[in-house]
Amino acid sequence: MPWPKTKTKSRRKITRSKTKALRQHQTLKAIAGLRPVLHKEPKMSLARMKELVNQLNEAAKAYYQEDREIMSNFDYDRLYEELEALEASSGLQLAGSPTAKVGYSAVDGLEKVSHEVPLLSLDKTKEGEKLKVFLGEHTGVLSWKLDGLTIVLSYENGQLTRAVTRGNGTVGEDITHNARAFGNIPLRIPYTERLLIRGEAVISYSDFEAINVDQQYKNPRNLCSGTVRQLDSNVVASRPVRYYAFALLSDAQPVTRSNQLNFLADLGFDVVEHQLVSVSSLEEKLAEFRQKISDFNLPTDGLVLSYDDIAYSASLGSTSKFPRDSLAFKWADELAETTLRYIEWNTSRTGLINPIAVFDPVEIEGTTVNKASLHNVSIVRQLELGEGDHITVYKANMIIPQVAENFTRSNTAVLPEKCPVCGSSTEIIKQKEGEALYCLNSSCQAQLIGSLVHFCSRDAMNIEGLSEQTLEKWVNKGFIEDFVDIFHLEKHEQEIKQMEGFGEKSFRKLMDSIERAKDVPLANFIYALGIKHVGLSNAKLLCASTENIMDASADDLLAVRGFGEAIVHSLLAYFSDENNRARVKKAQNLLRIKYPEINNSDRPLEGQTFVITGSVERFPNRKALQNFIEEHGGKCTGSVSANTSYLINNDAASSSAKNKKAQSLGVSILTEEDFLNMLENIPRPL
């Protein structure tokens, strides 16, 4: 059954060209300061402005605060521009309008920190000529506008002392514990003066694809944002987050922006790729950046042009929202009209069935495309898609094909009631980013092959020589029905040796690889099982904290540092399945699993929860103190709550937010010395 059609009136009868012409006409009249039709109907224009403010704020809240995307960049920009035009023509700006605000509030769970220098957003344009007018006779710095999470780093006496997210531009979140786990942030630099550095934390496209095999995340930014905000830095350490500096906020010797970037590079920072430009060279440099996009591995949503002269930049000041010394350039989306032929539904190893729009081939940004991911059921519904619909497509950030608009809106797409691979029943499940379709058959071949690929992967069992294509062949031949069968492939020796690509030597090499894989740490084996939400870092935490994992209770699992209800639910669901338990027990008899030692006699802090804040003196850093507590059975969290046993702060009398929260809850505040005095029989750190 197709979904019921939404009741719409004349907008479906308006052709694309008329819709576009109307939009352009109203925008141009607004820019020119004329009085368009909306002034004749002020109630209608006010209602539309309120509607736009609500839509855009909801989208911004989801994007910046909740790490999910409910509206494409294309739609956001279109609605934002419509709101700007309405405000320009009416002279009215509503309280709470996104045109008057910067970013979104910091999320709960991380300490909130006020920025010394407000982090304003950038005014933007899609017109190269406006960049020329902006630059004038000055020299500028043109650089990538990376699409990740903006973070300010503070250094004192050559040491990293704090890392804070942009937040709402005035107040951000303290993620210092996570920044120390980034792959390329210098923890110590050869410069003793105080430095404030602004940069972008990102996850590359290639790393994103390797992590996002189950398509749980919509894009690299969502994954990066969620990673950086983790309370447990072990999760961050397991993911390849990189930091690229793009501005020096504190006073330092270089007097030009380009020299500041060179100065940061000399100190050991990765800096954003940039070029010095003048009006005469601007067009050529824009073209050079544009040509790099198809092979550029970092997510970007355009470029930034800034004046090179720091003193001149400072003299310009800023508006209430934008600095006057920089301008963002967003590539004009190249739209292509085409016809949707059908929606392809692909089943992943977790059972998620992903919708893919298949359309008549079109050329966009120099390449031919005929498919675009629709991500989930909610997007299919929002676009009201159906076979034969007249649609427009584009490449988000000039990389990822997306469906922009559907002018037909036939709403005839049929949600598959059966899995396209195994024919089993499907179910719609509500998720963070909308509704998703799942296959209910855990033995589905698509899920089986995907789970086997994961089982053999490097961070899991690390079995070399078993590619996805090979596993698929052997599943089809009946050699493998579950992961246990991998360890019995010698039964099919003669048949395998006769297969293309396999002979005596290849078979022996594979058997040796499988034999080596039997020596596996418990955490890697747990990760190999492919339990939803249980990555390698969570598996290590689980194994270090829980002795009998298969029979652990919900309370046992919730006591594991960093574990929430989603992880606990996944673990309980997996080990309550008798088939899963049977497979795990068979594997235990076949493998030489290395179990971590859990010695409760050395865990005097068992059952106690600590929060650490401020600077430390007896330990090299807060992470070292956290490790010390965890080694002796304690648990560390990022925020004070009723479950906190102690807050460790060397400035016990400070009026910080955490101290106030601890005092209001009756939580004891200890200095490091107080804490160490509690532990009479534990060797103290040097």
- Beta-strand (E) ranges in 365-473? 367-373, 390-396, 400-406, 426-431, 434-439
pTM beyond 0.75: no
In a domain, 348, yes or no: no
Which range among 43-57, 103-117, 427-441, 464-478 shows the weakest confidence by mean pLDDT? 103-117
The catalytic residue among 145, 285, 540, 658 is 145
Same domain, 134 and 219: yes
In a domain, 397, yes or no: no
pLDDT at 55: 87
Report the alpha-carbon distance of residue 484 to residue 428 in Å, rounded.
31
pLDDT at 11: 34
pLDDT at 487: 93
Same domain, 96 and 169: no
Which range among 219-228, 259-268, 596-605 shows the weakest confidence by mean pLDDT? 596-605
Note if 145 is an active site residue: yes
Same domain, 198 and 272: yes
Same domain, 141 and 263: yes
- Please write the tens of the pLDDT for every residue from 225-243: 888 888 767 677 778 899 9
- Please write the tens of the pLDDT for every residue from 543-587: 877 778 998 888 888 877 667 777 888 899 889 989 899 999 999
Backbone angles phi, psi at 435, to 5 degrees: -85, 140
- Please write the tens of the pLDDT for every residue from 241-250: 999 999 998 7
- Which domain-ending residue is among 571, 594, 617? 594
Running DSSP on this structure, what letter comes out for residue 105?
Answer: P
pLDDT at residue 533 greater than cutoff 70: yes
pLDDT at residue 103 greater than cutoff 70: no
Same domain, 559 and 647: no
Report the alpha-carbon distance of residue 138 to residue 279 in Å, rounded.
8
The count of domains in the chain is 4
Give the rounded distance of the alpha carbon of 188 from its chain centre: 27
CB 89 within 8 A of CB 30: yes
93-102 long-range Cβ contacts below 8 angstroms, 24+ apart: 94/49, 94/50, 94/53, 96/53, 96/57, 97/49, 97/53, 98/53, 98/56, 98/57, 98/60, 99/321, 100/320, 100/321, 101/168, 101/321, 102/168, 102/169, 102/170, 102/321
Domain assignment of residue 295, given as a range: 112-329
Same domain, 85 and 131: no
Report the alpha-carbon distance of residue 169 to residue 572 in Å, rounded.
41
Same domain, 118 and 247: yes
In a domain, 190, yes or no: yes
- Which domain-ending residue is among 48, 82, 101? 101
Q: Kindly report the average pLDDT of the chain as a whole number.
A: 82
- Please write the tens of the pLDDT for every residue from 388-411: 999 999 887 667 888 999 999 999
Which range among 333-337, 584-588, 615-619 shows the weakest confidence by mean pLDDT? 615-619
pLDDT at residue 303 greater than cutoff 60: yes
In a domain, 429, yes or no: no
Which range among 73-77, 103-107, 517-521, 577-581 shows the weakest confidence by mean pLDDT? 103-107
- Which domain-ending residue is among 310, 329, 348? 329
In a domain, 225, yes or no: yes
pLDDT at residue 13 greater than cutoff 90: no
In a domain, 414, yes or no: no
Same domain, 90 and 178: no
In a domain, 562, yes or no: yes
Pairing status of strand 390-396 against strand 400-406: antiparallel
Give the rounded distance of the alpha carbon of 397 from its chain centre: 16
Same domain, 144 and 200: yes
pLDDT at 153: 95
Same domain, 261 and 140: yes
Same domain, 577 and 605: no
- For residue 450, how many other CB atoms are within 10 A of its CB? 22
pLDDT at 39: 39
The mean pLDDT of 347-369, rounded to a whole number, is 87
Pairing status of strand 592-594 against strand 519-521: parallel
Report the alpha-carbon distance of residue 679 to residue 686 in Å, rounded.
15
pLDDT at residue 380 greater than cutoff 90: yes
Pairing status of strand 149-156 against strand 336-347: unpaired
Same domain, 526 and 611: no
User: Tell me, what amino acid is at 285?
Assistant: K
The mean pLDDT of 322-339, rounded to a whole number, is 89
pLDDT at 23: 42
pLDDT at 229: 84
User: Tell me, what amino acid is at 406?
Assistant: N
Q: How far is CA 206 from CA 232, 240, 295, 318, in A?
A: 24, 10, 11, 37
pLDDT at 95: 59
Q: Give the tokens for residue 412.
A: 């005839």
The mean pLDDT of 303-332, rounded to a whole number, is 90
CATH number for 251: 3.30.470.30
In a domain, 198, yes or no: yes
CATH number for 649: 3.40.50.10190
